[in-house]
Structure 1
Amino acid sequence: MMIDKLYKEVEEKGNVCVGLDSSLDYIPKFIKEKYGDIDEIIFQFNKRIIDKTIDLATVYKPQIAYYEAYGIKGLIAYKKTLQYIKDMGSMSIGDIKRGDIASTAQMYGRAHFDGEFEADFITLNPYMGMDSITPYLKYIEEKGKGVFVLLRTSNPGAKDFEYLDVNGEPLYYKVGDKLKELGSKYKGSSGYSSIGAVVGGTHTEEALEIRNRYKDMFFLIPGYGHQGARGGDVDLYLNNGNGGVVNSSRGIIINYKKYEDGEENFDKYARKAVIKMKEDLLNARGV
């Protein structure tokens, strides 16, 4: 099961998830001039970052919007990036946040767990209900795949709906309880379920309560770096250093912009950001 592999990778490498939000605006000019075609520009940018961080990063998360925005060539870059991550022996989270009726979800599942956009994990939006989640279960059962379902997110607008009172508790707990019940059927040898949750690291008030309530749920934790969360914040969502991966996107892939020689050494400065992030997470644990 992919969740067990992810657990082992966290044990060996730590919690860093590199978010490949690879906008052309973030890519150095010399890469654009060298490769010309959008698909190759984006892929080569990603490739150099992956090559430079593969020994440090646990998992990579390309956000599909940054690829869809460039049309067919952008999606070719998305496909090539996922394949390269696999070829390098690492793991991927396809950040697609799909959430639609069952028949449509079946097609999304085919595209992102079987097709040219195949990833190890994908992200899902549960707003339309559990029947928008169940079509992906066959891929957990048959291929060992995993999903991260939006629970309590890091954006300011999370409080518009996720915090609505439902019988004395916020709505996100109702979502989490449903996911926990379903996920109990898909636990790996690590003790974690293949049905995980996206839990934003920028809100710390409920962190320990969420972690204790969903002990067997693996978390994808966005919000680190540019969105404001730090090691001490996200550590609250972990179980003795495991049980979650912490995503940073711009904080890693455009870290080079802080340095005079950054453009030609963008991959070196991506690595530097990952090292700094790993140190911050370890310090938060007192390691």
Structure 2
Amino acid sequence: MIIDRLYEEVEKKGNVCVGLDTALEYIPSTILNNYHSIDDILFYFNKRIIDATIDIVPCYKVQIAFYEAHGLNGMLAYKKTLEYIRNKGSVVVADIKRADISSTAKAYARAHFEGDFESDFITLNPYMGFDSITPYLDYVENKNKGLFILLRTSNDGAKDIQYLDINGNGKVYNYIGDKIKDISYKYMGKCGYSSIGAVVGGTHLEESDEIRNRLGKVFFLIPGYGAQGGKGKDVVSYLKNGNGGIVNSSRGIITSYKKYDDGVEKFDSYARDAVLDMKEDISSETKTI
């Protein structure tokens, strides 16, 4: 199962997931000046980052919005980036956060688990209801795909809905977590985790133990490290013996070169250094549970 592959990659390479949220303002002038089409600019930057880090990270998360914003050429760069990651033997998470039901959800599933935009995992938003998740399950069961379902996010606005109390029976995000756990058991890998995982923001240390204990066999995608303020100490409680989750950083890695005088020429090397620093930060805080 795909979760076994991801688990094994984390065992070998650590927890850092590189987020390719590739905005034009993040790209060095040398690339902007040397390439003329949007798809070449975005893809070449991504390729350099991937080549510099693929031996030290288990996976990449590609946020579709940064490519959709550039229309057809942007989506061509998205396609080429997904293909490049998968052809290099790494795992790719397409961060699409789709939410819909019935035939529309089936079309989304086909769009992002087959064809031009095929990925290994996708992110989904369950707040329309869990019938919006059902159309994707055939791909999990029969086509070796995985899901990361939004549980408790790292943004301040999460409190608007996710923290509401349900008639004195706990917060909305706990209810969502219980539903994720209920459907996850059918799709368990040999590693002890399910191919149906959850997205939990890594900026709320005070809640991490509760969430980890409540969702024991659910694998986590943990955003919020770096630019959003998360540190190693904020994310390690979501892990078990150093595994059970991937920790995403996007801007903190792909724009790290901007701190250095020679960064424009060596942006990929500085991205690698940022990954290594992040790995050290997480491993130094990792607990044995």
* TM-score normalised by the chain length of structure 2: 0.98
Find out whether 1:189 has 2:190 as its counterpart: yes
1:111 partner amino acid = A
Q: Is the 8 A contact 2:237 2:287 kept in 1?
A: no
Find out whether 1:2 has 2:2 as its counterpart: yes
Kindly state the Cα deviation for residue 167 of structure 1 after the two structures are TM-superposed.
3.2
Q: Is the 8 A contact 2:124 2:150 kept in 1?
A: yes
Residue equivalent to 1:111: 111
Return the alpha-carbon distance in structure 2 between the equivalents of residues 235 and 271 of structure 1.
21
Structure 1 residues 47-101: Cα deviation after superposition (integer angstroms, max 9, x where no partner): 0000000111110001000000000000000000000001111110000000011
In structure 1, stretches of 5+ residues that fail to align are: none
The equivalences for 1:85-234 within 5 A come to: 85-168=85-168, 169-234=170-235
Q: Which segments of structure 1 move beyond 2 Å, counting only runs of 4 or more?
A: none
1:117 partner amino acid = F
Secondary structure, counterpart of 2:205 in structure 1: coil
Residue equivalent to 1:20: 20
2:84 partner amino acid = Y
2:208 partner amino acid = A
1:212 partner amino acid = N
1:93 partner amino acid = V
Q: Is the 8 A contact 2:187 2:196 kept in 1?
A: yes
Secondary structure, counterpart of 1:220 in structure 2: strand
The equivalences for 1:258-277 within 5 A come to: 258-277=259-278
Residue equivalent to 2:257: 256
Secondary structure, counterpart of 2:199 in structure 1: strand
Return the alpha-carbon distance in structure 2 between the equivalents of residues 42 and 19 of structure 1.
13
Return the alpha-carbon distance in structure 2 between the equivalents of residues 35 and 87 of structure 1.
23
Return the alpha-carbon distance in structure 1 between the equivalents of residues 131 and 81 of structure 2.
30
Secondary structure, counterpart of 2:123 in structure 1: strand
Return the alpha-carbon distance in structure 1 between the equivalents of residues 223 and 233 of structure 2.
14
Q: Is the 8 A contact 2:241 2:287 kept in 1?
A: no
RMSD: 0.9
Secondary structure, counterpart of 1:206 in structure 2: helix
Return the alpha-carbon distance in structure 2 between the equivalents of residues 13 and 183 of structure 1.
25
Structure 1 residues 89-124: Cα deviation after superposition (integer angstroms, max 9, x where no partner): 111000000001121110000000012111000000
Q: Is the 8 A contact 2:236 2:287 kept in 1?
A: no
In structure 2, stretches of 5+ residues that fail to align are: none
Equivalent pairs, count? 287
Kindly state the Cα deviation for residue 153 of structure 1 after the two structures are TM-superposed.
0.4
Kindly state the Cα deviation for residue 286 of structure 1 after the two structures are TM-superposed.
6.5
Kindly state the Cα deviation for residue 155 of structure 1 after the two structures are TM-superposed.
0.4
1:230 partner amino acid = K
Residue equivalent to 1:33: 33
Return the alpha-carbon distance in structure 2 between the equivalents of residues 155 and 66 of structure 1.
19
Identity score, percent: 65
Secondary structure, counterpart of 2:216 in structure 1: coil
Return the alpha-carbon distance in structure 2 between the equivalents of residues 238 and 6 of structure 1.
14
